[in-house]
Chains A and B, each alone.
Chain A
Amino acid sequence: MSETTVEAPVPAADERDSRWTRLGRRTVRPPIYAEHQYLVVIGFVVLVALVAPHIATSRSKQFLIDLWLVYAIAGIGFYWVFALAGRFAFCQTFMMTLGGFMSAWVTRSGHGKPFLLGVASAIAITSLLAFVVGIIARRSQELYFAIATLAVTSIGADVFNHWDAFSGRNGTVTNVASPKLFGHAFLKDKQVFWLFLGALTIVLLLAVLIERSPFRRDAIASRDNLLVARLTGVAAGRHQLVLFILGSALGGLSGSMYAHWAGNVSTGTFGIDLAIGIFLMLFLGGVGSMWGPVLGAAFYVAIPQVLSNIQKYSSIVYGALLLVVVMALPRGLVGLAQDGSRVVKDQVRKARRKDIVDVAG
């Protein structure tokens, strides 16, 4: 007698896990590789490219969009240093200032070096300085590291204010050349927008490359428990130093971008308000994701505009907003978005399973 064969029902998503234990059938990999980060970057860039020109109805709005792009790059650098490496660094604005001055100095009318070289030198000098500071403060714990970077920022401000040859009289440099790429000069804010968007695209791709690599998990382990990470063979100190250098380099890049765009840079351009602001951007947007600073920078730049009639009180609004976010949304706006998308996915999955049950009868 033969038994009727029963068709195995399509296993629901959470039942498929048991197949993975049979090795060789299907490689199991960390879930982060299953996310479609490249698509998100492309989608984001395309969206901005399409939407931004429509939002930029006035000169001031275009200015804010360009400023957002600059801050987003600096913010991603800060994400690498603070969120991924766990280093309490207060010197991102110093790196921006240094990058601005360096780039201005290299491309000055007397020297006449091209824009790209200015940017490259800004990145180089900030990387070098971050390396030095990172080595000096290498074994310092969070608070001391914060204090050391604060000290570096103060020293920097003082040096810039007095070193006329490099950073101008009273730490101000004007007449910085407009960005020029392959003979094409970016003179208007509208044109600069495309240049900056290109730069941000590259930075986002670099950030994704890090997310999708063993470097990310090694960095997180180094951040969360340096000693145990070392015990498991991770070169914890080195990862933290590398991320600090890379994050500072992004600070230098954004500083030089700003200097050429605005045409001037001074010690007050990236002052204490921005230093606090960068923290704010990261936490508002979400400290757990590379998109956090991008979102946070948009808010930082947009709020005074949105509340234009109470612009005087914008700082107070920021502070209150930050407090609310800290209390209610520990993972920032990105966390909110992730929770939202997870709720949606769960609902979809439940609906699909219901369909399967209905079909199977």
Chain B
Amino acid sequence: MEKFVALLASGIALGAVLAVAAFGFLLLYKATGVINFAHGDLITLGGYVALWAIVDIGLPSVLGYLLALVIMFGVGVLIERIAYAPLRRRPPMSVVIATLAAAIVIRGLIAVWQGSTPKSLPTPVGNRTVHIFGAPVSQQRIVIIVISAIAVVALLLAFQRTAFGRQLRALAADPETAKLQGVRTRLIAVVAFGLSALLAGLAGILVSPLASLDLDFGFSLMISAFAAAVLGGFGSLGGVVLGAVVIGLVQQLLGGYVFTTYQTTLPFVLMLAVLAVRPQGLIVLKRSRL
């Protein structure tokens, strides 16, 4: 029983982090159509910036996290200015390559700045655990679940209620018509990039106290987040959250009980199985207009 609870908690926590990461990626994709290959490295960067804020500058953890999030938003805006805005008229492939270039630069910067030895991010809850049904659950996991839930719900509400959210949805549904109706695509692009990077950073900050921070840690998280988006349906923000939780649970529960050695591969196998059966994912991305 204890094992089940512990695994359940880690599964939900993993799902929560993936949801935040996938949300950021999907948000950008819906707002601008851009597939940001630097997203994984932004996750890593978020962790490292938080590390710098807390360890190098000496800020208290929560303040350090907030500063990191603000910086990540700025990084997102910077990427928009350099790798997106100048390439608006180019074929979409150029922007994809530009995001790859951004990924290369970010990885290089991190390597130069922090070196490649794995580090660990301090957290206000430290290593403390809480006992649920007799199982020790790391408090960090509770923090992850709570904060992710707040972030996701806040964003979902923002999309439904605010003007910005409405404009974003209009843009995602039909870019040309939205532009004709005066949706401010440029502003939305800037905010989307910033928000996406912020969410990536948040995912990195949430998970790095539990894992160790190294150069590739965000990349693997991003791939799992992609899998969540595929499972939950690329068109649907709510679906992505569901997909993320499914992945988290599959990996921890199935992996914890049955395939312990290969647990990280399970979500991917699941995703490949889904793609084999429904090749367009759960939502069709393009429709032919002949």
Contacts and interface: CB of A to CB of B under 8 A. Distances in A.
Contacts of B269: 155
A227 B265 contact: no
Contacts of B172: none
A271 B216 contact: yes
B111 A315 contact: yes
B30 to A, nearest CB: 13
B112 A320 contact: no
Given A148-B275, A154-B220, A323-B101, A316 B109 contact: yes
B151 interface: no
B272 A151 contact: yes
Contacts of B268: 151-152, 154-155
Contact of A319 (B104, B226, B271, B272): B104
A162 interface: yes
Contact of B100 (A280, A312, A314): A280
Contacts of B98: 322-323, 326
A273 B107 contact: yes
Contacts of A313: 108, 112
Interface residues of A, number: 41
Contacts of A159: 262, 265
Contacts of A143: 35, 234, 285
B71 to A, nearest CB: 18
A227 B290 contact: yes
Contacts of A139: 279-280
A147 B100 contact: no
A207 B224 CA distance: 35
A138 B111 contact: no
Interface in A323-337: 323, 326-327, 330
B97 A283 contact: yes
B223 A323 contact: no
Nearest to B224: A154
Nearest to B271: A151
Contact of A151 (B97, B227, B261): B227
Interface stretch (B83-91, B135-143, B161-169, B181-189): B83-91
B264 A326 contact: no
Given A144-B281, A154-B268, A315-B111, 14 more contacts: A137-B276, A141-B279, A144-B275, A144-B279, A146-B35, A147-B226, A150-B226, A154-B223, A155-B268, A158-B262, A314-B108, A316-B104, A323-B98, A327-B94
9 contacts: A136-B276, A139-B280, A141-B279, A147-B226, A152-B272, A316-B104, A319-B102, A319-B103, A323-B101
